[in-house]
Chains A and B, each alone.
Chain A
Amino acid sequence: MIDWGEARRIYAESIGVLTISLGGGILAGAVLGTEGMRDGFRAYPGLLLLLPAFLATRGNVYGALGARIASGLHQGLIEPRFERDRRLLNAVIASFINGITISVFIGFLSWLILQLLGRESAQLTELVGITLIAGTLTAFVLIVGLLALVFLGFRRGFDPDNLIGPIVTTLGDIFGVAFLYVALIVVEVLG
């Protein structure tokens, strides 16, 4: 019923990619567990509520950018380098807009849900401030990092389609959580 040789081959093909994603997730988790981050979760009710949406949308926004860049490279619509190409520029600008807009929306949504449930919540400006700062910083790092790695991979002859998933989840987790921490400190200092 099971072809064990083939199962071993599939396992060997995927374990590398999953290990990279696991490493990124563990690093992000290590930041979440720190005392500073836990204090932040206590001080700003709503932050834990928005965490899954914040992390998941990183994957969707920049995964979509990666898929678009990969098919653009395959079709010869764009070149594998940073240049003032109209299509490349449009895709990058649109990803910035998507990434930042949805981050602000998530901060707002988290506040709204706690209001509707009548639970304790941080101020709207605090939650939106945190997601705006963290969303903007992750947009910069993820767009530049994703393009650099996909271009490099493409020029070296790797199929970018296979690189994008693990690159996006790994970078998204590590930088998403790290920049939430940074944003927390900024909002704390400004508040």
Chain B
Amino acid sequence: MSHGLPRRSFDTWTVRSIVTTMIPLLIVLSILEMGSGLVLETLEETYLANPTLLILVPVMIDMGGNLGSILSSRLSTRLHLGTLSFSPRDVALWTNVAAILGLAVTIFAALAVAAYGIGRLYAGPMAFSDLLVISMVSGMVLAFVAVVLSIAASYASYRLGLDPDDTTIPIVTNLCDILGVVILSIVALMVLG
């Protein structure tokens, strides 16, 4: 960042340059996100009959990406510093993974409790045990996917010499965003039958 020449960095601040670099990415991303939308639309009746499930949707869209970006940026910093190896016995790697899974347990348990409280304000409340299982199982599967994708992406950017901030972290967060709703829907269908 700091080594960019003044003229070059000024050029990237034009409306044209910002729009033409962003729009193609946004179009590809929107098309991919439609996969996750299609799952929602297909299961419309399940979601509308159980409004409590709808409360989980925005958090499921965001949280995989949040967890993945925390882990990816921590791993990429350690890679830059040379203090991370991809050995299965690397303490720093497992310590980071343990912290992420701990965060996920807290967040998805809290989500179930909050969604249950809000859901009671609507017409059809859902059994708390069902909601807790749906939130925790889909949340932990999502966290696991985020961990695997973050490690794979950090490893790939390390081997291929890519800048994680520009390439791998956005890929991980967007993939997790897409998978969140898909995982939630599969788990909800299994629990609700």
Residues in A lying within 8 Å of B, measured CB to CB: 1-4, 6-8, 10-11, 14-15, 17-19, 21-22, 24-26, 28-30, 32-35, 37-38, 41-42, 45-46, 48-53, 55-57, 59-61, 64, 68, 71-72, 74-75, 77, 86-87, 90-91, 93-95, 97-98, 101-102, 105-106, 109-110, 113-114, 119, 165, 169, 173, 177
Q: Are A48 and B55 in contact (CB under 8 A)?
A: no
**Could you pull out 22 A-B pairs where Cβ atoms are within 8 angstroms?**
A4-B98, A7-B95, A7-B96, A11-B102, A11-B103, A14-B70, A18-B103, A29-B55, A33-B54, A41-B48, A48-B37, A52-B61, A52-B178, A60-B174, A61-B26, A68-B18, A75-B9, A94-B19, A97-B19, A98-B26, A110-B34, A114-B41
- B119 close to chain A: CB less than 8 A: yes
Query: In the bound complex, how far is the Cα of B90 from the Cα of A176, in angstroms?
Result: 41
Query: In the bound complex, how far is the Cα of B3 from the Cα of A74, in angstroms?
Result: 12
Could you say which residues of chain B place their CB within 8 Å of the CB of A94?
Answer: 15, 18-19, 22
Contact of B1 among A3, A55, A61, A75 (CB under 8 A): A75
Closest to B99 in A: A10
- B190 close to chain A: CB less than 8 A: no
Could you say which residues of chain A place their CB within 8 Å of the CB of B10?
Answer: 77, 87
Query: In the bound complex, how far is the Cα of B103 from the Cα of A72, in angstroms?
Result: 32
Q: Are B91 and A3 in contact (CB under 8 A)?
A: yes
Give the interface SS of chain A, mostly helix, strand, loop or mixed.
Answer: helix
Could you say which residues of chain B place their CB within 8 Å of the CB of A53?
Answer: 29-30, 33-34, 36-37
Query: In the bound complex, how far is the Cα of B106 from the Cα of A11, in angstroms?
Result: 10
Query: In the bound complex, how far is the Cα of B91 from the Cα of A6, in angstroms?
Result: 10
Q: Tell me the count of chain B residues lying within 8 A, CB to CB, of chain A.
A: 71
Contact of B118 among A2, A26, A48 (CB under 8 A): A26
Contact of B30 among A15, A37, A106, A119 (CB under 8 A): A106
Query: In the bound complex, how far is the Cα of B34 from the Cα of A68, in angstroms?
Result: 27
- B127 close to chain A: CB less than 8 A: no
Say whether, besides A2-B91, A18-B107, A28 and B58 are in contact (CB < 8 Å). Answer: yes
Contact of A34 among B61, B66, B122 (CB under 8 A): B122
Q: Are B22 and A29 in contact (CB under 8 A)?
A: no
Q: Are A32 and B54 in contact (CB under 8 A)?
A: yes
Contact of A55 among B27, B61, B123 (CB under 8 A): B61
Could you say which residues of chain B place their CB within 8 Å of the CB of A60?
Answer: 22, 25-26, 29, 170, 174
Query: In the bound complex, how far is the Cα of B22 from the Cα of A61, in angstroms?
Result: 8
Which residues 112-130 of B sit at the A interface, judged by CB distance below 8 A? 114-115, 118-119, 122-123
Could you say which residues of chain A place their CB within 8 Å of the CB of B111?
Answer: 22, 25-26
Give the interface SS of chain B, mostly helix, strand, loop or mixed.
Answer: helix
Closest to B88 in A: A1
Could you say which residues of chain B place their CB within 8 Å of the CB of A51?
Answer: 37, 40, 57
CB distance from B173 to the nearest CB of A (A): 8
Q: Are A29 and B59 in contact (CB under 8 A)?
A: yes
Could you say which residues of chain B place their CB within 8 Å of the CB of A105?
Answer: 26-27, 30
CB distance from A67 to the nearest CB of B (A): 8
Q: Are B95 and A110 in contact (CB under 8 A)?
A: no
Query: In the bound complex, how far is the Cα of B62 from the Cα of A60, in angstroms?
Result: 12
Closest to B104 in A: A18
- B80 close to chain A: CB less than 8 A: no
Query: In the bound complex, how far is the Cα of B170 from the Cα of A191, in angstroms?
Result: 39
CB distance from A154 to the nearest CB of B (A): 16
Query: In the bound complex, how far is the Cα of B67 from the Cα of A10, in angstroms?
Result: 12
Contact of B58 among A35, A55, A114 (CB under 8 A): A55
Could you say which residues of chain B place their CB within 8 Å of the CB of A98?
Answer: 18-19, 22-23, 26
Q: Are B91 and A29 in contact (CB under 8 A)?
A: no
